[in-house]
Amino acid sequence: FPEALTDFLQGLNDVQRQAVLATEGPVMVLAGAGSGKTRVITYRIAHLIRNVGVLPQNILALTFTNKAAGEMRQRIDSILEYGSASSLWIGTFHSVFARLLRSYIHLIGYDRNFSIFDADDSKSLIKQCMKELNLSPETLPVNLVHSAISKAKNSFVLPPEFHRKAIDDQSQKISLVYERYVHKLRENNALDFDDLLIKPIELFTEQPRVLEQLQDYFKYLLIDEYQDTNRVQYLVAKMIAEKHRNIFVVGDDAQSIYSWRGADISNILNFNDDYGDAQVFKLVDNYRSTKTILDAANSVISRNTHQIKKELVANAGMGEPITLIEAFNEKREAEKVAEHIKSIRLSKGAQYRSFAVFYRTNAQSRVIEDMMRQNRIPYKIFGSVSFYKRKEIKDAVAYMRLVLNDRDSESLLRVINFPPRKIGDVSINKLKEFAEERNISLYEAVKRAGEGGFQARLVNALTQFTDLIEAMRKQAEEGTAYDVLSMLYETTGLLSLLKEENTPEALARHENLQELLSMTRDFADHNPNSATLGDFLSTISLASDYDETQESDNYVSLMTVHAAKGLEFPVVFVTGMEEKLFPLNSYEPGELEEERRLFYVAITRAREKLFLSWAQSRYMYGQPQMCMRSTFINEINPNIIVTEGGRKLSESPKKVAATAMAGRPVFGSSLRPQPGGSPAAKVPTVKPAGSARPTGAAKSEYRPGTRVQHAIFGPGTVLEVQGSGAKQKVKINFRTAGEKTLMVQYANLKIV
Ligand code: ATP
Ligand code: MG
């Protein structure tokens, strides 16, 4: 290519450029975070259009999020200097195939005006199917069925196969629902989200000519984040690429974090089996992060046994050390995050948009949101709904609002049949009429349903409902919002219902409800004189209004680590670095490895500065729980971590003590600061200071009753002295650690 045409390729390194120029045939780029995989896709598209002369509409690029798609389009426009990116096909699998199906779906018996059912729509249809099959949601929760069906669809297991494989009673029931649900979707001329991927496969199989047409149309197929594609996505991509074989995929097995949603890492591992002649490029230079941040990321991910070994070398300098924030509870943790944001903004002139705060579970966002508001820091939550807008939170709050104000019919309608009480729409409409006739509130009508000639079963259900509300009201008069909410959870069994469902979604709802309970508890602890239900509701109504007041695009980004994939920020805070929180699940080695990949993703989002924070106690299940610092922190070289006071973690006695006592190696052998040093050798010595003399110089001074200080065990009193010289031992009763016998020569005791 003439130089003038390829000048923009100067923005790439050699291997990246080779990957861009290898336009024909199957190509895979397998490389670590921040090595420019997404950049290569972007430049490759620009190159195809500008230098190879491919028409933009003949290029299909699949990204993981719509946000990523938008950014890619913008970049291509800016490289090509004209608006040709508009006719490119860039988007998520779902959005691209929804668009294609609009043109072709009539060929497999749907109308082109099909509806797309979101998760709520799907669930209500599933509910309907179950009703027709006489399956009670009490024994077979709708969410469980929904998630089982979705999982099957994403693995391309259709009803007949599902039916064949259904051995136990529950799967057999789900199989019946699945079949009926698929049928009903068709009756409704509707597709659910998963159908957006399945229907193209059906279309291509039934109408090979359509497939051929599309194969000729999409001459070039590019896929980002290939490690997180699932089976259907893999199949669809393979079908489209079959003819021209110009399939270009980029990924990093170390960043595979969606296996719980059916993502299948073997798609990346087996790329070579499908395409024997595939060219594979490995990028090793990282252009995103400082050397410090990369060192941390590399040493963390190297602990995983199941991964393709990859090199990742920093292009930038050491940069700043990682700061470990330690707080006594989660509120203080969030407050410290806010303080650091404010101080970096002032000292470095950084914009709010330079900061991101990550958390492992959605429920953690609440405290952080609150602290951002209190500190007047603009923020935006990505990838999920703001805490107060989540369905389960709105449901619980609706109960509380109804307790406070029984004329709040909106709230009443929200919860009258939640959890399900067999109070249907027909009954509710009749109740509304009854209320209107008598000119009473809907709640009053519900209470007096006995006078309205309603069926006994219905009256019974309604009475149970109003009994609950009345009991809660009584509780509210005497107690706090915490008491009211606890009663709600206990009486309705809300939490246990979700726990039994045991789907990731149900567990997230469970956590959120727990978080709300923790919040009321905390509110009561901190506002002993004004923690009534009304006080609490006023506080949170104001909080939930805040979202709408955000206008500019300069805000701190709040998101789960999952939602952060592919993104980058100058300053990143990873919060909740505690055992059982991050890592969240670590019962099985496979789970621990996925958590570790997630931590790797989190670390590698940071460009200049990384903060890791943890709280010594955290409200969970409505109670403050003691927390332990995450073992993941021990997987980072303590020489590159400093405390907020600026002290190196490797020199912080308390932390080393904690890890040494937990019996874990402090740091991997290859990266240990002193070659050959054992963890024990790293136990810090307490420097002799002032009048205190080192023990070596004054062996004879030990006698029963001598008061000593030990770096790990703290203060203690000598009980007994045994032997002398190099072999001298002392038996000490430590105030907290109990009795220990130590060799004087190695114990580094200080006489106090
Ligand atoms: P992830 O695995 O996190 O998705 P990635 O491999 O897709 O990362 P990119 O996001 O493409 O990495 O690149 C990371 C950063 O490095 C971006 O800011 C990108 O613009 C920059 N970058 C990549 N390659 C180069 C290069 N050759 N010269 C300068 N900057 C580069
Ligand atoms: Mg990327």
Identify which ligand lies nearest to the alpha carbon of 605: 1
Nearest to 361 by CA among 254, 504, 262: 504
- pTM more than 0.90: no
- With tokens 């990204």, the residue in question is 63
- The 10s digit of each residue's pLDDT in 406-421 is 877 878 988 999 888 8
Give the amino acid at 272: N
Tell me what the mean pLDDT of segment 52-61 comes to.
Answer: 94
Q: Which atom of ligand 1 is nearest to the CA of 35?
A: 6
Residue whose structure tokens are 């960043």: 255
The reply to whether 36 sits in an annotated binding site is yes
Within 10 angstroms of residue 436's Cβ, the number of other Cβ atoms is 11
Q: What atom of ligand 1 comes closest to residue 33's alpha carbon? A: 2
Q: Long-range contact list for 429-435, CB < 8 A, 24+ apart?
A: 430/454, 431/462
Between the CA of 708 and the centroid of ligand 1 the distance, in Å, is 55
- CA 6 – ligand 2 centroid, Å: 23
- Alpha-carbon span 194 to 201, nearest angstrom: 12
Query: pLDDT digit string (tens) for 264-307?
Result: 888 888 898 899 899 999 999 999 999 999 999 999 999 998 88
DSSP 402-429: HHH-TT-HHHHHHHTTSS--S--HHHHH
Q: Name the maximum alpha-carbon separation found in the chain.
A: 100
35 is in an annotated binding site: yes
C-alpha span between 699 and 728 (Å, rounded)? 8
Cα–Cα distance, 720 to 409 (Å, whole number): 76
119 is in an annotated binding site: no
Nearest to 554 by CA among 352, 337, 340, 357: 352
Which atom of ligand 1 is the closest one to the Cα of 225? Answer: 4
Phi/psi at 740 (5° precision): -140, 145
| Rounded Cα distance, 712 and 334, in Å | 29
Q: What would the mean pLDDT of 645-652 be, rounded to a whole number?
A: 86
Do residues 207 and 177 lie in contact, with contact meaning Cβ atoms separated by under 8 Å?
Answer: no
Does residue 325 have a pLDDT over 80?
yes
Return the best residue to mutate from 15, 288, 561 for the ligand 1 pocket (most ligand atoms within 8 A of CB). Answer: 288
- pLDDT at residue 550 tops 70: no
309 is in an annotated binding site: no
Measured distance CA(322)–CA(519) in Å, rounded: 31
Ligand 1 mean position to 345 CA, how many Å?
25
Give me the percent of the chain exceeding a pLDDT of 90. 50
- Mean pLDDT of the region 105-111: 89
φ, ψ (nearest 5 deg) of residue 408: -80, 85
Q: Which protein residue has the closest C-alpha to ligand 1 atom 21?
A: 287
Q: How far is CA 312 from CA 12, 315, 596, 640, in A?
A: 16, 10, 17, 18
Task: Look at residue 549 and tell me whether its pLDDT is greater than 50.
Answer: no
For the CA of 31, the nearest ligand: 1
CA 601–ligand 1 middle distance (angstroms) = 14
Predicted pLDDT of residue 706: 85
For residue 82, the model assigns a pLDDT of 63
CA-nearest residue, atom 14 of ligand 1 = 34
What local confidence, expressed as pLDDT, does residue 621 receive? 67
Cβ < 6 Å from ligand 1: which residues?
A: 11-13, 16, 33-39, 252, 255, 287-288, 566, 568, 604
Report whether pLDDT(551) > 70.
Answer: no
What pLDDT is stored for residue 3 in this prediction? 60
Quick one: pLDDT band at residue 384, thresholds 50, 70, 90?
A: low
Look up residue 363 and give its two tokens.
Answer: 């429920």
How far, in Å, is the centroid of ligand 2 from the Cα of 4? 28
pLDDT score for 556: 95
Range in 76-85, 234-243, 583-592 with the lowest mean pLDDT: 76-85
Q: Which residue has the higher pLDDT, 30 or 92?
A: 30
Among the ranges given (113-122, 393-402, 727-736), the one the predictor scored with the smallest mean pLDDT? 113-122
